[in-house]
Structure 1
Amino acid sequence: MAKLIDARGLSCPAPVLLVKDTLEKESLQELTVLVDDEACRENVTRFLGSQNFEVLDTGQGNHIQLEARRTSTANAVETKATAQQTNENPDGSQKILILVASDRLGSGDDTLGEKLMINYLKTVKEMGNDLWQLVFVNSGVKLTTESSAVLQVLQEYERAGVIILACGTCLEHFGLTSAKMVGETTNMLDIVTATQLADKVINIG
């Protein structure tokens, strides 16, 4: 019988942490996880995938039900972000993480701030291989959506190998979960891990 983990009512990253703690304490082959929103669904599904589970979404009523079964594959399935977080850059370059905490740069004039942020994100490509991750939090997640003036730029970065993460709690807060068009939805556990592994963290916003 599958282990039931009821994470309803919990905000990210609590559902992921609850699943993580359960798997560390128990050797489980099957489990069922209940969550409330899309951000939690993405984060829990991605985490379980990294722990070698196949996940099926069997939504029931007003909540999301995730049925997970451990696969027979020896090695856990890694997301792009997970794989690159644990590996050194092969060319010896730095791993610079940019934490984008707003959709505008600086304070004073909002219109100017929006233009400055667009110019900044178009210019960070000059870091070359040192640019490792772009992590968007708070209103910064708006820059990863379909209406973003830098969406095409960010998609080009992602194709070039830059990891792009958008805070799931932030997307939910602004009602933008379904509007995200680039990067992976993430949680605070992933963000903390990424900032710990980075050689340098740059905060802008």
Structure 2
Amino acid sequence: MKHTVDAMGKQCPIPVVMTKKVLDKAEQGDEILILVDNETAVNNLSRLAGSTGCSFVSKKTENGYEIRMVVKSDNQTRNEVEPEIVCTPAAPQGDYVVCVTSDKMGDGDPELGGILIKGFVYALTQLETAPSVMLFYNGGAKLTAQDSPCIEDLKTLEEQGCEILTCGTCVNFYELKEPAVGTVTNMYTIAEKLAKAGKVIRP
């Protein structure tokens, strides 16, 4: 018999608990398909498979991971196993938004602030998961202009799947040319992106 466990969007230990409930009732030879979207769940399910004598195959998909476990042991043996679960903080899954409101970072010396914001944008390119959206408004709109020192890093972020949006009102106010990366947007869209964000970061 085939079973499916849809644990998309679930953080540890929930995917293991859901799978263990199915596993406890499964018969020898049954196949369990588990859908998850984070590596922590994959690692914990691998431990569960190993401790219960199940085969384990994991495949990366567009939205996460597909795991196939085939039950090899008898029911009594599986029920005696206490699953080992190692929970680590979940990495962001691209659901965080970065708001940039100035071409400087922090208060104090303007030159230092310019260096810091450039370093911050570069650091985003090195994270495991890029932000889903970057919003540039007020003085931050200057960072998407043609002469911005951050253009190459912003293009890299865009290639990684980050949506780059610059406030059109701000572009007009500062008399900037069309952004060199991303698109011009309006305040309604900015408000919408912020309202839907899992997390908002403002440097």
TM-score under structure 2 length normalisation: 0.54
Structure 2 equivalent of residue 183 of structure 1: 182
Alpha-carbon contact 2:100-2:140 (below 8 Å) kept: yes
Q: State the distance in 2 between where 1:188 and 1:152 align.
A: 26
Contact 2:124 2:130 in 1 (8 A): no
| 1:90 matched to 2:63 | yes
Larger radius of gyration: 2
Deviations 1:106-159 (A, max 9, x none): 111000000000000000123332521111011111110110001011011112
Shift of 1:179: 4.0
Return the letter of the residue paired with 1:154: L
Superposition RMSD in Å: 1.7
Q: Distance in 2 between matches of 1:145 and 1:185?
A: 11
Query: Contact (CA 8 Å) 1:95, 1:130: kept in 2 or not?
Result: no
Distance 2:101 2:139 in 1: 6
The equivalent residue for 2:27 is none
Question: Does the residue aligned with 1:97 lie in a helix, a strand or coil?
Answer: strand
Question: What is the distance in 2 between the residues matched to 1:175 and 1:127?
Answer: 33
Aligned partner of 1:202 in structure 2 is: 201
Helix, strand or coil for the counterpart of 1:142?
helix
The ranges of structure 1 where at least 4 consecutive aligned residues each deviate by more than 2 angstroms after the TM superposition are: 89-92, 125-130
Equivalences for 1:109-188 in 2 at 5 Å? 109-176=109-176, 178-188=177-187
Other structure's SS at 2:128 match? helix
Cα pair distance change 1:127/1:198, threshold 3 Å: farther
SS of residue matched to 1:128 = coil
- Note the C-alpha offset of 1:94: 4.3
Bigger relative contact order (CA 8 A; separation at least 6): 1
Does the CA contact (< 8 Å) of 2:130 and 2:157 recur in 1?
A: no
Unaligned 5+ segments in structure 2 are 1-61, 65-91
Maintained 8 Å contact 2:97/2:200: yes
Secondary structure of the corresponding residue to residue 165 of structure 1: strand
Distance 1:90 1:129, change over 3 A: farther
TM-score (norm 1): 0.53
Query: Does the residue aligned with 1:135 lie in a helix, a strand or coil?
Result: strand
Q: Where in structure 2 are the equivalents of 1:21-32 lying within 5 Å?
A: none
Count of residues paired in the alignment: 115
- Deviation string for 1:18-77 (max 9, x for gaps)? xxxxxxxxxxxxxxxxxxxxxxxxxxxxxxxxxxxxxxxxxxxxxxxxxxxxxxxxxxxx
| Identical columns (%) | 31
Q: Quote the offset at 1:90 in angstroms.
A: 2.6
- Structure 2 counterpart of 1:190, which letter? T
Q: CA deviation at 1:203?
A: 1.4
Unaligned runs of 5+ in 1: 1-88
Residues 152 and 109 of structure 1: CA distance in aligned 2, closer, same or farther (over 3 Å): same
* 3-state secondary structure, aligned to 1:129: coil
The 5 A counterparts of 1:71-90 are 90=63
Tell me the amino acid that sits aligned with residue 155 of structure 1.
K
